[in-house]
Amino acid sequence: MLELQHQLKLPARRDDKARMNFVSGLRSHVLHELADGLRTVWQHEVEPELRRRGRPARNGRDVHAALRANEYFRFYSAVRVTAQDMVYQSVRPVIERGAASLAAADAQLVRAQPLGSLTLDPSLEVPRSVSAIDIHLMPGSYHTEYAPTGYSRGDLTAGAIYDNRLAISSFGLMGQNLDDIGQSVARWLRERQPQFRPQRILDLGCTVGHNTGAWKDQYPDAEVHGIDVAAPCLRYALARARSQGRALQLHQMNAEKLAFADASFDVVFSSMFLHEVPRAGIARVLAEAHRVLRPGGLMLHMELPPNARLEPFDAFYLDWDGDYNNEPFYKPFRALEPREAVRIAGFAPERYLEVVVPSLAGLGEQRWRAALEAGPVVDSARTGRLAAGVNWYCFGAWR
């Protein structure tokens, strides 16, 4: 299992670590070997039968309908759901047992490393898209307060659960600090636009700030802000950033209604956020990004590639979470045409941007540069998937 690179580590015993390592390995097995097996079943059994009947799959929905009764698909789905639940079962007891040490580490950071800031809004109503759903099957979702009296700044539990479960469930593909998306995308921007020097950067839906901090690494002179609706995640994000010497400005805020002035940011970024938002809310998020961007600024969202860019099986594969992993907004988001959504938000069509960025953590410096020069495109087998050689799909626009 990946060792988190900060001071908020949990007092995991040997049996805890063994359990986490097993679950991480199981997740990797499901998303690599079992997923490859599912593709083989589709290509050699189910799809040929559909074609023989004169009913080839036209989209992901057709693939799902054809596979529903398949024994291998049911086995794959059962193991994947079970593995996701086991992630939380392996993490939560350690966090509950280590609550005092987590609180002590937070208090020490408040005294010794007062970097950055956190502004909470007690009047903020957490959207039902968060409060009514255990997203990713995470018990209590991201916003639930568990132990408000044990910490100097309030409860951090949900943030600790999220951080540690991501370390297990991504089995190293997110990098040593779980920030490969932010590092890869911000580095791509710095390499491709060396004359662009943003002074204020905003990360929407930042959860525990792993990718927010990456922007501070790549643009150390910039003022970097992150927002989220979940107070426990933000508290944890501030402590996490402080332990790594990163000064982040964090706010409890809804991305659909930003409390920032017009034209106040040079970059508005998000990573794996928009697919957690209802379709009507996405339009508001994009419009708000347009409002707060300065002329010449950049909006950039790292997301799952749209359905229209993928073959039917790959569209179905990415939509699996929408049916079985408490992700009800996955499929409506992936049905969007990003270019049109950006235009409706107010951006000029000719300023639209779409890019595929290879994983810096996965390739290393030299190979990453070579892959970047080769100009990666949307690749059904790798883009947006937690798989070896992952590529990150991004869309947005210049203001």
- Kindly give the parts of the chain with pLDDT less than 50: none
Residues 374 and 343 in one domain: yes
Residues 247 and 352 in one domain: yes
pLDDT score, position 381: 66
Residues 272 and 335 in one domain: yes
For 80-96, how does the pLDDT look when each residue is reduced to its tens digit (9 = 90+)? 999 999 999 999 999 98
pLDDT score, position 319: 92
3 in any annotated domain: no
5 in any annotated domain: no
123 in any annotated domain: no
152 in any annotated domain: yes
339 in any annotated domain: yes
Kindly tell me the burial class for residue 324, based on how many C-beta atoms sit within 10 Å of its own C-beta (0-12, 13-18, 19 or more): middle
What CATH number should be reported for the domain holding residue 357? Answer: 3.40.50.150
Look at phi and psi of residue 91 and say left if phi exceeds 0, alpha if psi is from -120 to 50, else beta.
alpha
Sheet holding 249-252, edge to edge: 117-119, 249-252, 223-228, 200-204, 265-271, 293-303, 391-398, 352-358
pLDDT score, position 61: 95
Residues 146 and 178 in one domain: no
Structural domain that includes position 58: 14-116+128-163
Residues 107 and 212 in one domain: no
Alpha-carbon gap, residue 126 to 356, rounded angstroms: 32
Residues 148 and 176 in one domain: no
Domain count, the chain: 2
Residues 266 and 349 in one domain: yes
First to last CA, the chain: 41
pLDDT score, position 64: 97
Alpha-carbon gap, residue 375 to 305, rounded angstroms: 16
Residues 155 and 186 in one domain: no
pLDDT score, position 139: 92
Alpha-carbon gap, residue 238 to 52, rounded angstroms: 58
Q: Which residues, other chains included, contact 270 with Cβ-Cβ below 8 Å and sequence gap of 6+?
A: 203, 204, 205, 255, 285, 301, 302, 303
Residues 159 and 178 in one domain: no
pLDDT score, position 185: 97
pLDDT score, position 107: 82
